[in-house]
Amino acid sequence: MTRQRFLFFFILAFITAAAFTQEKFRPEGSSEDVSILTLSNGLTVFVRTDSSIPLIHTELICRAGYSSQDLSNTGFFSLYAQLFTKTAASEENSPLDYIQVESLCNADSTTYTADVPEASLDSYLNTLSLCLSSPYFTDAQLNQTLSLFREQINEYAESLSGFINTSIDSKVFAEQPWKQESGIYPALFMGYTKGEVRTILKNIQKEFYVPDNCALFITGNIDADKVYELCQKNFFNWKNTGSVKNLNSTEKLPLQSQRKFAITSKDFSPELSQIVVQYTNLDAPECDILSAAFNAVPSPLKKELLKEELLAIRSEAYISSSSARKNSSSRLIIQSLLEKSTENNPVKQAELFTEKVKHAALMDRSLFINAQDAVNGRYLETAGNSIKAMELLADFWALDSEVTAQTFRSRFSEFSHSVYTKNEREITKKILSAEPYVFLIINDSLWDSFEKDFTEAGYERMEKNSGFWYDQELLKAKALEQKKSRLTPVEQTLAAITGSEDFSPGDIFYFKNYSEIKNFSLLNGIRCAVKQTEGTSSAILSVAIQGGEAASPQNEHQLRTVLINALSINISRSLNEKRMQGQIISSPEISAWTEETSSFIQIEFLPQDLNEVLDSFISSLIWAEIQPLTADHLVSEQNYQWSMKKQYLDFQLKSSFLYQAYRKTDYEKIFDLKSEALKNTTYDSIALNYTKLLDASLYSIVISGDTTAEECEILLERTFGLLKEQSTIKENSIPKPDLKKKSFKIQLSHNYTTDKTSADAPKDVPVLVPTKIFTDPGLIVLKGPEPSMEEDIFNALLTDISLRMSKKTGSQTDVQFSTSELKTGIITVLKLDRTSTLTKAFTESLRELKASLTDANTSDKTLLLLKSQWAVTALKKCSTQKGTAELLHKGLISGNPYRYLESYTTIEKATAADFTEILDKYFNEEEAVKVFSADTKK
């Protein structure tokens, strides 16, 4: 799947003086400089130091995306991305054994992102350099990747989504349709021999994967000088092999004047049609502004569309507007689902829809300014997160093929001013004078019924045998033919306190973040923590409500989830009203979820809106009601989600085991798969249980952003201080699981259920064949320690054993850490051929780990590996403000908001003897509980 990011346009605050090898600038909304470094081989490296991020976030970007494809090599850039890290597979103790590299081939570039422990950055950059300068794929690796990729291409070409996307792209990008993700020609890709494939991949590496065509973006708890030193050392042997291929010299087809298309298939629903309108004559900021205006709450466009009975649009949720940038072109996309109407003429529906869209471009001044502010506000919300801000810079670098390290700041400055230079009259003029692309996605029967109307209106029909660019014989034939060591301010302060300059990244991370956290209690007893991060342009409000699913009534499983979702909807409505009234300037993002013992609602917003966000939360909680229609929808949705969740075999196995482990306790209902969620729930029950959320003793609050604890305490007392204690504040009372029984056999359900008959099943749904051979999951369950230093080391050991078991079983594994709620560590092997495979893999992994920890020759390397693996798994959430707030909140609930900071320093300072002690204490072969499917053979 390609990464879709939207570039927002903004103003630079200031730019400092430049040097040849290092230049700095600071985007508006950012609290940190970005250093631009140039290595001796020409590679550009961007560095942003952020001591609040424990893992080093790296993004290697190469201008080698789908737009680099020509007629003869469609698909090979994506294939190269999938093969890129295979070079490291032959390395012993490769950092990629525990560092996950995400490879994504996008429209204009390919990116390789990874979160790396600081201690492993040197070895990771060395591995990255090896993959760049000396790529090597074995025949087995090439065959496996090639085979899987060919299957994916064929499946996509045969799918309905592939048909729709390819049909649209082949018309919107009619000059060069093969330069799209949807433009891969399956027959051409299948036709190459293995030797020819290697030749094309080698050419891609030589022409595109060179220093001048790549850039490296690094964010985290590390300074620019250290990054420069490591990059110079590791990328020294990676050289430019020639000039980058000129992408503008490839062949183009004549522009087409046709703009109206009906994409038809008998497999599309006859009850619903879809309309997609695309404007391609606007630049990127104009698309962003119109998209923001059309999506405003309330939206004048959506209001007008919903009025029309002919369009038969069910609700605002069925209308969307977006801006997209790809291959140096920008598009405004408006689409909707249309139901059957009394007249049910799709041609008239399309004409009316397009007319309403054009009319909506006649914006008044206030709506236009609000849209500009919304676009800029979305950037400001992003800029507060170091990683997301660097991703925006990386996207800009990839889009501007002429930019260099020396010209980056000036070109970026010009580019970033665009949004406030736009004029509503000019945009309106462009919309009114343009003929947009209109695509109607309909069932064959609608075309047959209104063929005359379609023809007279100038529509071209696109069917499966005509929707792909490579179905044009001439193009098909042509394609086949072309076969210093410097202290930061934080370090200076730390040195003054400790009297030493010898401190680790963990020390810096702990000190920097510890000093930013203040905790206190409101007068009504609500516990609060505030993390003040100066210069951050976005803020997070995290509210935890004690109880979680354990608080749902016995006969109304999942009710607490419904209540929390309902509360989040009411908060969202209140915030939207405030935004339209000009009381807030941000567009807050709300997320809500419910765990076993707690529920969470998180809101991300601009710091200046804190007072109004708190007011919306508390007024929604105290005064708002759950509307009956909302309640019905939420209950229906939760029933659906629960039924879908139960289809996953690993979820079945784990839940069934935990149900037995917590039998005869209040906790067992959480894992009861036989119960039907919300079967007996009524609206009165929802309304009654909603009032129980008014108990102050249930709440704890975390606020993160550029705001002081003193200010937050005053605002919280005015809002959440209104809640009263209705019960004594108490910690979550969680029973201990019964792990006396050491082996379980659990019958899993392998059925896929549907309410459709086989005749109604979509074309892409496979026929299920009965079988008695199952590769079901298996579990290793270990009793975990109490929350302490022991718990951190226990979880690091659990991660290592899981990775070793994955290699031995040939199956993906999953780890569930031991926590204060569930004091068990669980390793899930997703596919087992035999029960003995699980037992053998666990035993061998355990013994190998202990031997390598106690052997003087291997203990240091094993210790580094354990710490790095734990950091990648446990600290990834620190990369975002939301994730950091969640970790901080989990600690606050357990009584220690600094818990996640202490975990980092605990692991960093732990010795091989510490790990061996915990290994002997908790990882006992005889005490481990093994859980199998009843269908897994011995």
Dihedral of CA 795/799/800/805: which sign? positive
Q: Which 8-state DSSP code applies to residue 101? A: P
Q: How far is CA 352 from the centre of its chain?
A: 37
Model confidence at 845: pLDDT above 60: yes
Instruction: Give CA–CA dist 231/213, Å, rounded.
Output: 16
At residue 776, does pLDDT exceed 80?
A: yes
User: Any alpha helices (H) in 67-118, and if so which ranges?
Assistant: 76-83
User: Read out DSSP for 288-342?
Assistant: HHHHHHHT-SS-HHHHHHHH-TTT----GGGEEEEEEEETTEEEEEEEEEEE--S
Higher pLDDT, 838 or 241: 838
Residue type for position 230: L
Q: Is 845 exposed, middle or buried (0-12, 13-18, 19+ CB in 10 A)?
A: buried
**Alpha-carbon gap, residue 806 to 803, rounded angstroms:** 5
Instruction: Respond yes or no on whether the N-terminal peptide bond of residue 436 is cis (omega within 30° of 0).
Output: no
Q: Where does the pLDDT of residue 234 fall: very low under 50, low under 70, confident under 90, or very high at 90 and above? A: very high
Q: How, if at all, do strands 437-443 and 272-279 pair?
A: antiparallel
Mean pLDDT of the chain: 83
Residue with the larger pLDDT of the pair 721 and 681 = 721
Q: Which of 397, 423, 424 is nearest to 409 (CA)?
A: 397
The full DSSP string for 229-257 is HHHHHHSTT----SPPP-GGGS--PPP--
State the average pLDDT over residues 889-893. Answer: 93
Q: What is the mean pLDDT of residues 551-579?
A: 91
Lowest mean pLDDT among 195-199, 267-271, 416-420: 416-420
Answer with the residue of higher pLDDT: 509 or 179. Answer: 509
Given this model, what pLDDT does residue 177 score? Answer: 67
- The dihedral through the CA atoms of 545, 546, 550, 556 has a sign that is negative
Contact call for residues 886 and 760 (beta carbons, < 8 A): no
Contacts of 229 (CB under 8 A, 6+ apart): none
Query: Which pLDDT belongs to residue 485?
Result: 38
Q: What distances in angstroms separate CA 693 from CA 639, 688, 696, 767, one per listed residue?
A: 22, 10, 8, 47
Q: In the predicted model, is pLDDT for residue 864 greater than 70?
A: yes
Domains of the chain (ranges, CATH numbers)? 22-236 (3.30.830.10), 260-378+403-462 (3.30.830.10), 508-722 (3.30.830.10), 743-933 (3.30.830.10)
Alpha-carbon gap, residue 657 to 778, rounded angstroms: 11
- Phi/psi for 783 (5° steps) reads -70, 130
**Which residues lie across from 780 on neighbouring strands?**
827, 930
Which range (16-30, 173-187, 228-242) has the least confidence? 16-30
Is the separation of the CB atoms in 551 and 560 below 8 Å?
yes
State the pLDDT confidence band at 641, using cuts at 50, 70 and 90: confident
Question: What's the pLDDT at 8?
Answer: 36
Give the β-pairing of 329-339 and 319-326: antiparallel
CA–CA distance, 402 with 408 (Å, rounded to integer): 9
The pLDDT value recorded for residue 88 is 82
195 vs 265, which has greater pLDDT? 265
Question: Are the C-beta atoms of residues 385 and 538 closer than 8 Å to each other?
Answer: yes
Interval 1-50: pLDDT, tens = 344 433 333 323 222 223 334 565 555 544 467 888 999 999 999 999 98
Q: In this predicted structure, which of 230-244, 600-614, 785-799 has the lowest mean pLDDT?
A: 230-244
* Residue 5: Cβ within 10 Å count: 15
β-strand partners of 320: 335
User: Is the Cα dihedral 669, 671, 677, 683 positive or negative?
Assistant: positive
Which has the higher per-residue pLDDT, 119 or 763? 119
Residue 255: the pLDDT is: 65
In which band, very low, low, confident or very high, does the pLDDT at 60 lie, cut at 50, 70 and 90?
Answer: very high
Please give the Cα distance from 541 to 361 (Å, whole number): 35
pLDDT at residue number 708: 92
pLDDT in tens, 517-545: 999 999 999 999 999 988 787 899 999 99
List, in sequence order, the alpha helices (H) in 183-235: 186-190, 194-208, 224-234
Beta-carbon count within 10 A of 149 CB:
18
Nearest 5°: phi and psi at 68?
-85, -10
**How do residues 142-153 score in pLDDT, each as one tens digit?**
888 888 887 777
- Comparing 51-55, 131-135, 242-246, which segment has the lowest mean pLDDT? 242-246
CA-to-CA distance for 634 and 568, rounded, in angstroms?
A: 12
pLDDT digits (tens, 9 = 90+) for 278-337: 999 998 889 999 999 999 888 899 999 999 999 999 888 899 999 988 656 789 999 999
pLDDT given at position 855: 93
Nearest C-alpha neighbor of 777 from the set 691, 883, 689, 649: 649
* Percent of the chain predicted with pLDDT > 70: 83
pTM of the model: 0.74
Backbone angles phi, psi at 907, to 5 degrees: -65, -40
pLDDT value of residue 849: 95
Rounded Cα distance between 467 and 909, Å, is 61
The residue written with tokens 């045969």 in the block is: 158
* pLDDT tens figures, 80-114: 999 999 888 777 788 988 899 999 998 889 999 99
Rounded to whole angstroms, how far apart are CA atoms 86 and 90?
8
Is residue 754 predicted with pLDDT exceeding 70?
no
Instruction: Give the Cα separation of 908 and 199 in Å (integer).
Output: 45
d(CA 671, CA 657): 8
Q: Higher model confidence: residue 119 or residue 471?
A: 119
Backbone angles phi, psi at 698, to 5 degrees: -85, -15
